[in-house]
Amino acid sequence: MRNQLATELLFALSQPGRRGALFPDSDVPEKPLNELIPQSALATNPTDLPEVTEPDVIRHFVNLSTLNMCVDTHFYPLGSCTMKYNPKRHERLAGLPGIVDLHPYQNPSDLQGMLELLYGMQEMLAEISGLPAVSLQPAAGAQGEFTALLTAKAYFEDRGENRTKVLFPNSAHGTNPASAALAGFDCVQLESSEEGLVDLDDLKTHLDDQTAVFMVTNPNTLGLFEKDIKQIAQMVHDAGGLVYIDGANMNAILGYTRPGDFGGDMMHFNVHKTFTGPHGAGGPGAGPIAVRDFLADYLPGPVIKQTKTDSEENQFVLENPSKSIGRIRTFYGNIGILVRGYCYLRTLGAEGLKAVSENAVLNANYLKVILKDVLPVPNGDLCMHEFVASASKMKSKNGITAMDIAKRLLDFGFHAPTVYFPLVVPEAIMVEPTETESKETLDAFAEIIRQIVKEDPEFLHEAPHSTDISRPDEVIAARNPILQCCEP
Amino acid sequence: MPYLFNTPEQQQEMLNVIGVDSLEALFATIPSELRLKRKLNIPPALTEMELQSHISNLAEKNIGPSSRVCMLGGGAYDHFIPAAVDEIARRGEFYTAYTPYQAEASQGSLQTFFEFQSLICRLTGMDVSNASLYEGGTCVSEATFMAMRVTNRHNRIVLLESMHPEYRQVVESYLNHLNCEVIVVPCINGCVAPADVDKAMDDQTACLVIQHPNFFGTLEEAEQLTEIAHKYGALSVVSYDPISLGLLNRPGDYGADIAIAEGQSLGTPLQFGGPYLGLFSCSKKFVRRMPGRLIGQTVDRNGKSCFVLNLQAREQHIRRDKATSNICSNQGLIAIRATVYLSLLGKQGIREVAELSCQKAHYAAEQLCQIEGISLLFKDRPFFKEFVLSCSEGPDYLLRKARQAGFDLGPELSRFDFQNSSETYRTGVLVAITEQRTREEIDCLVKALKA
């Protein structure tokens, strides 16, 4: 079925003289280019872009697109990533004129509707997090982490404290230590307890007057709620530090509990996870942050404020916080994604958000229970929105690995779960069904897993068998990287 | 609830299987004193019809290019977007796909990103490109970090005052806690004097960052500045306008080590400043020091050519605190837009867009300067598609008068905090002209300003 010709590299489709886009002749009197631009700055050769027609382009990329799995076509039980359904109304509304065509430097008087929307988003995120001050600027969760750490740094400096350490558990997302290092902190990784939770003794050992921030994901990456979070936060606060909540797993607790209520001082949201901004094959996301009042003045600017009086021309204004850490990106944020998140929140309302978490947690627990005899879950009894199973017993028994199961699932039309993360579980298989899947899908998925684990291990090592390609050689790829079609 | 499946009967059935008696009971691990005892205070739920009317009302409170002629610049431009770009970007197979970690389920995205990397290499003349970063400003920061790693000089970088002031602010926020001195070379006449740059450099400087064409639209001596950087053993980082490379020398042609850009012009709508597209390319010798995702070509178990995420050992999910960057998500879908855009334009199209923008911008500048009290702030400086007008009545007067006539100009330079030359720039207003602007529009603006 694959159209081989159309899916050749684009450059192979090129024929001199073909055109995919035509532009009108100039309607202004033209001057010789070298009168406008010094000859030395002009290119001597035209850029070597391919020459193809519009039908070429469409057929090529449409054919390529069919080689992808995606949420519109498949179940995507990817732990930590919340691959929920992407509502189509968001795409229409985010593309409306007056939303999609605004220039960031227009006069604020012409932007009142957009600023009202973004202000509404700030307000809703503050309410959902229980943290009153919001910055919409960060482009992604990782940038949100980094921004919040800079905010914390500025706060401590302002207080004359020099705190150098960031603590995080060994089950943390890789972005936590990476962001801390980028912000110039020393990274301290803590052990997890037997239960897969923060080890309070280990935390106690490392807390001191050098501790700036404790970063924790709650529910954590094992899908477990840190039941001692209040005590953990108290310990960190007693040491003079701040608690950062990685909000990747907010889908589990919407309307049930709030980071601000369980001791968090700062957090980021992943709009592309929790609030269904589409993943876009790896982005764009959006990673707005919410912080406590006493950190508000340090947030990056600008933030959106509502002016108090009705007599003012502009009800919504862009303002820089008084002690702002500055900008962490150009312009104001990944607005197109924030608009989709806003649409989502306005569609669901308070009850809807709570129902999202209830069904996400119900689906995860149901799947966990019906799979537990074939895929044991080492930690926890009840999970939240995801669980981490381990294939290590299977591996020692007959050599079947987490990767084998993941790859074989593709043959049956299921996207693979996250594997080998978090690092604290051997042969980890991290499953997050999300709330936008039916019991029928979960039953079918479990049935297929049962079937897979009975298959011949050799056959599984070579899976997938039905996909266009199977088991790319990553070692060769890394040893001799080919990163573009016409290597210099 | 529009996106939920489980009927009350199914929920009960599932609860029975789990062995708990209510949905509430699933949350037993959350201590009761931490539970929210009230409903979230957010606006009530809307149906699709209600939501559409709500968002439409908000959209109508804005005035966009559909009702005004956009001559705004400063890093975001109103270039034409062919319909085929939207057609491909709207395919669920692309926009609802995940990061391509599972290669067998993601060959479509992977090949498209590989082609994106290839197109960016050809556009810039650089050896390797990553699969995108957040946007233009953060690219500058990532480039300076990379330059520090490559040169092992961590305490000093040199920027030009002619760089986008917001890019500079981003770099400063990224660096100001790292004990790294950020030197800004003043720009008095619309571009920097190479001699001033030479004075600012030393053998402890990690990199020199050049924006060409610069924030004012004028051309820098990019080649000469690159040579100066190299003289001191520093990397030359060039921030370019991707459309300009339809006409101008490519960063790779004059020896840039890292080339970065805001790629919004390549098929992405303005959407109030984001999501945009960070373009990041460099010399092959630095590839293992690069930030961001890289796609590589390889073979599968049967020897069939295919694509994978490559050199992941640089990235946060593997290397954690030792990663080359903390970036996890990039701008995949926007990179796909740019790939389709560049494919459609091809060799000829990119040149035509660049030429049309350049010719029309020069016509506009010439016509506008015939108005009494209006002149170019930087006379006799070559520019590409953007220029700075100076108005004797002040920038606000100029902007207001243009707005009344249905034209958006700007941004005004007084919006920004320039370190050295604010006084010079006080009167300036940027004007950007793309291929979409017509002679009729330009003449109409001139007529309105004369009145």
Q: Count of residues for chain B?
A: 451
Contact A477 B298 (CB under 8 A): yes
Q: Count of residues for chain A?
A: 488
| pTM, to two decimals | 0.98
Do A74 and A414 contact (CB within 8 A), yes or no? yes
Q: Which residues of B touch A271 (CB under 8 A)?
A: none
Contact A70 B97 (CB under 8 A): yes
pLDDT at residue B66 in the model: 67
- A436 close contact with B: CB closer than 8 A: yes
Contact A484 B382 (CB under 8 A): no
pLDDT at residue A274 in the model: 97
Q: Which residue's structure tokens are 């506009």? A: B364
Residue A217: name the closest of A364, A73, A79, A309 by CA. A79
Contact residues, B window 179-218, toward A, CB-based 8 Å cutoff = none
- Exposure on the CB side of residue B245, measured as CA atoms within 13 A: 32
Cβ burial, residue A94 (10 Å; 0-12/13-18/19+): buried
pLDDT at residue A487 in the model: 67
Q: Say how far apart CA B123 and CA B125 lie, in whole Å.
A: 6
Report the residue of B316, B343, B442, B445 to disrupt the A interface, i.e. the one with the largest count of A CBs within 10 Å: B343
Cβ burial, residue B194 (10 Å; 0-12/13-18/19+): middle
- A1 close contact with B: CB closer than 8 A: no
For A169, residues 6+ apart whose C-beta sits below 8 A from its C-beta are A189, A190, A191, A192, A198, A199, A216, A220
Q: Say how far apart CA B95 and CA B8 lie, in whole Å.
A: 32
From B68, B249, B306, residue closest to A42, measured CB to CB: B249
Residue A83: name the closest of A355, A341, A417, A368 by CA. A417
Cβ burial, residue A199 (10 Å; 0-12/13-18/19+): middle
pLDDT at residue A486 in the model: 78
The CATH topology of domain B83-341 is: Aspartate Aminotransferase; domain 2 (3.40.640)
Q: Say how far apart CA A447 and CA B274 lie, in whole Å.
A: 43
CB under 8 Å, gap of 24 or more: what pairs does A41-45 form?
Answer: A41/B219, A41/B222, A41/B248, A41/B249, A41/B382, A42/B247, A42/B248, A42/B249, A43/B245, A43/B247, A43/B248, A43/B249, A43/B250, A43/B253, A44/B249
CA of B340 vs chain A CAs: smallest distance (Å): 7
Q: Which residues of A touch B313 (CB under 8 A)?
A: 478
Q: Which residues of B touch A435 (CB under 8 A)?
A: 3-5
Q: Which residues of B touch A261 (CB under 8 A)?
A: 34, 36
Report the residue of A13, A47, A253, A268 to disrupt the B interface, i.e. the one with the largest count of B CBs within 10 Å: A47
In degrees, to the nearest 5, what angle opens at C-alpha A234 toward C-alphas A233 and A236? 65
pLDDT at residue A310 in the model: 64
- Exposure on the CB side of residue A52, measured as CA atoms within 13 A: 24
- Considering only alpha carbons, which residue of chain B is nearest residue A81? B98
Q: How many CB atoms lie within 10 A of CB A486?
A: 10
Q: Which residues of B touch A128 (CB under 8 A)?
A: 40, 42
For A48, residues 6+ apart whose C-beta sits below 8 A from its C-beta are B122, B347
**DSSP H helix total and E strand total for chain A:** 14, 12
- Considering only alpha carbons, which residue of chain A is nearest residue B176? A325
From B62, B170, B384, residue closest to A113, measured CB to CB: B62
Residues of chain B with CATH 3.40.640.10: 83-341
Report the residue of A329, A441, A460 to disrupt the B interface, i.e. the one with the largest count of B CBs within 10 Å: A329
Residues forming a β-bridge with B132? none
Do B273 and A332 contact (CB within 8 A), yes or no? yes
Q: Residue B275, preceding bond cis, omega within 30 degrees?
A: yes
Separation of CA A407 from chain center = 23
Do B429 and B350 contact (CB within 8 A), yes or no? no
Least confident span in B12-26, B51-65, B211-225: B51-65
pLDDT at B19 over 80: yes
pLDDT-derived band at B63 (thresholds 50, 70, 90) equals: confident
Pairing of strands A211-217, A165-169: parallel
pLDDT-derived band at B177 (thresholds 50, 70, 90) equals: confident
pLDDT at residue B451 in the model: 87
Contact B92 A72 (CB under 8 A): yes
Name the DSSP class of B298.
Answer: E
Do A133 and A239 contact (CB within 8 A), yes or no? no
Q: From residue B335, how far is each of A218, B19, B134, B263, B338 by CA, in Å?
A: 32, 47, 10, 8, 5
Q: What is the 3-state secondary structure (H, E, C) of B390-443?
A: EECCCHHHHHHHHHHCCEEEECEHHHCCCCCCHHHHCCEEEEECCCCCCHHHHH
From B248, B270, B442, residue closest to A42, measured CB to CB: B248
Indicate the residue type of B121.
Answer: C
Residue A61: name the closest of B349, B103, B89, B331 by CA. B89
Q: Domains in chain A, ordered, with CATH?
A: 4-65 (no CATH), 90-347 (3.40.640.10), 353-474 (3.90.1150.10)
pLDDT at residue A176 in the model: 95
From A58, A72, A488, residue closest to B284, measured CB to CB: A488
pLDDT at B64 over 70: no
Q: How many CB atoms lie within 10 A of CB B47?
A: 11
CA of B196 vs chain A CAs: smallest distance (Å): 21
Contact B273 A328 (CB under 8 A): no
**Dihedral sign from CA coordinates of B316, B320, B321, B322:** negative
Arithmetic mean of pLDDT, B292-318: 94
Residue B81: name the closest of B264, B206, B208 by CA. B264
From B30, B353, B363, residue closest to A29, measured CB to CB: B363
- B336 close contact with A: CB closer than 8 A: yes
From A23, A116, A348, residue closest to B435, measured CB to CB: A23
Residues of chain B with CATH 3.90.1150.10: 69-81+346-450
In the CATH scheme, what architecture does the domain B69-81+346-450 have? Alpha-Beta Complex (3.90)
Phi, psi (deg, nearest 5) at residue A190: -100, 155
Q: From residue A283, how far is each of A112, A277, A329, B133, B146 by CA, in Å?
A: 28, 9, 16, 10, 22
Contact B97 A280 (CB under 8 A): yes
pLDDT-derived band at B426 (thresholds 50, 70, 90) equals: confident
Do B26 and A369 contact (CB within 8 A), yes or no? no
For B130, residues 6+ apart whose C-beta sits below 8 A from its C-beta are B117, B280, B281, B290, B291, B292, B293, B294, B330
Q: Give DSSP secondary structure letters for B230-252.
A: HHTTPEEEEEE-GGGGGTBPPGG
Tens-digit pLDDT profile for residues B115-174: 999 999 999 999 999 999 999 999 999 999 999 999 999 999 999 999 999 999 999 999
Number of Cβ pairs < 8 A linking chain A and chain B? 690
For A382, residues 6+ apart whose C-beta sits below 8 A from its C-beta are A365, B18, B20, B26, B28, B29
Contact A336 B275 (CB under 8 A): yes
Contact A283 B97 (CB under 8 A): no
Q: Which tokens go with A413?
A: 């039309």
Arithmetic mean of pLDDT, B54-83: 93
Contact residues, B window 8-27, toward A, CB-based 8 Å cutoff = 10-11, 13-15, 17-20, 23, 26-27
Q: Which residues of A touch B253 (CB under 8 A)?
A: 43
Q: Which residues of A touch B35 (CB under 8 A)?
A: 256-257
Residue A483: name the closest of B314, B119, B61, B224 by CA. B119
Contact A143 B270 (CB under 8 A): no
Q: Say how far apart CA A444 and CA A451 lie, in whole Å.
A: 11
Do B302 and B103 contact (CB within 8 A), yes or no? no
Residues forming a β-bridge with B326? none
Q: Say how far apart CA B72 and CA B75 lie, in whole Å.
A: 9
- Considering only alpha carbons, which residue of chain B is nearest residue A270? B329
Arithmetic mean of pLDDT, B291-303: 97
Contact B295 A483 (CB under 8 A): yes
- Exposure on the CB side of residue B51, measured as CA atoms within 13 A: 27
Q: Say how far apart CA A33 and CA B384 lie, in whole Å.
A: 10
Arithmetic mean of pLDDT, B282-304: 96
Contact A43 B245 (CB under 8 A): yes
pLDDT by residue for chain A (488 residues), tens only, comes to 789 999 999 999 999 999 999 999 999 999 999 999 999 999 998 889 999 999 999 999 999 999 999 999 999 999 999 999 999 999 999 999 999 999 999 999 999 999 999 999 999 999 999 999 999 999 999 999 999 999 999 999 999 999 999 999 999 999 999 999 999 999 999 999 999 999 999 999 999 999 999 999 999 999 999 999 999 999 999 999 999 999 999 999 999 999 999 999 999 999 999 999 999 999 999 999 999 999 999 999 999 999 876 666 779 999 999 999 999 999 999 999 999 999 999 999 999 999 999 999 999 999 999 999 999 999 989 999 999 999 999 999 999 999 999 999 999 999 999 999 998 999 999 999 999 999 999 999 999 999 999 999 999 999 999 999 999 999 999 999 999 997 65
From B51, B121, B177, residue closest to A183, measured CB to CB: B177
pLDDT at residue A45 in the model: 84
- A230 close contact with B: CB closer than 8 A: yes
What dihedral angle (degrees, nearest 10) is formed by the CA atoms of A337, A98, B54, A303? Answer: 50
Q: Residue A302, preceding bond cis, omega within 30 degrees?
A: yes
Contact residues, A window 52-81, toward B, CB-based 8 Å cutoff = 52, 54, 57-58, 60-62, 64-73, 76, 78, 81
From B91, B219, B347, residue closest to A46, measured CB to CB: B347
Q: From residue B412, how far is each of A483, B62, B388, B416 by CA, in Å?
A: 41, 20, 9, 8
**Dihedral sign from CA coordinates of A139, A142, A144, A150:** negative
For A363, residues 6+ apart whose C-beta sits below 8 A from its C-beta are A433, A434, A435, A437, A439, A442, B6, B14
Do B436 and B79 contact (CB within 8 A), yes or no? yes
- B262 close contact with A: CB closer than 8 A: yes
Do B346 and A49 contact (CB within 8 A), yes or no? yes
